[in-house]
Amino acid sequence: MTDSPEAGRARAARLASFGFLARFLVLLVALYAAVASRPVNDRAIVPFTAGVASVSGKLLRVLGEPATVNGTLISGGGFGVNIENGCNGIETTILFVSAVLAFPASWAARGIGVALGFAAIQAINLVRVVSLFWVGRHYPAIFQASHGLVWQSVVVLCGVVLFFVWAARVPRPAPAAES
């Protein structure tokens, strides 16, 4: 007995969803493992994070804040923050990149998605770092809630929303012909 066309499409959709989820999880674990390794962390992540601190410090000075930067530490006006892993936008970027690379789209569309998503996530993270420094300096009583509850959630949510927006707009490859 053969399936109806609807049942065949439903089965194909379930298999495609499972394939996406499996690719996503493999990529997620692989990318997290890569950035967690000491060589990648020391040679790429720490310098990248220092760059985030440097740009944030410049933005803070443009906004009139007395910020100085030393590596990943931003300080000034009696307050300081050290940007560590988890606060540099890399985890959200990994989540986003894993989803984009696992999604059934052309490699060109995936490349554009990764590049634009990375830039958007890092821009959002810069707003996060600058605003957290400002909050910590001027309203220290709400710094921890702003850092741990509000901004961590906002950055991750932005990464997820960026993926959904990209996925909704990217052309999908034509389905394989049924035999």
Domain count, the chain: 1
Q: Give the range of the structural domain holding residue 27, as residue numbers without chain letter.
A: 7-169
Res 172 pLDDT > 90: no
- Residue 18 dihedral angles phi and psi, to the nearest 5°: -65, -40
Taking each helix axis from N to C end, the angle separating 107-138 and 152-169, rounded to the nearest 10 degrees, works out to 160
Is residue 2 one of the residues assigned to a domain?
Answer: no
Is residue 52 one of the residues assigned to a domain?
Answer: yes
Is residue 177 one of the residues assigned to a domain?
Answer: no
Res 113 pLDDT > 50: yes
pLDDT score, position 81: 95
| Alpha-helical runs (H) found in 37-151 | 38-40, 46-62, 90-102, 107-138, 143-145
Res 179 pLDDT > 70: no
Q: What is the mean pLDDT of the chain?
A: 91
Is residue 44 one of the residues assigned to a domain?
Answer: yes
Res 1 pLDDT > 70: no
What is the per-residue pLDDT across 35-85, written as a single tens digit (0 to 9) for each? 999 999 999 999 999 999 999 999 999 999 999 999 999 999 999 999 998
- Residue where the block lists tokens 């410090």: 57
What is the per-residue pLDDT across 40-49, written as a single tens digit (0 to 9) for each? 999 999 999 9
Asked if residues 126 and 58 have their Cβ atoms less than 8 Å apart, the reply is: no
Res 176 pLDDT > 60: no
Is residue 1 one of the residues assigned to a domain?
Answer: no
Tokens of 26: 């493999």
- Residue 177 dihedral angles phi and psi, to the nearest 5°: -70, 140
Tokens of 152: 């961590």
Closest to 164 measured CA to CA, from 107, 115, 95: 95
Is residue 175 one of the residues assigned to a domain?
Answer: no
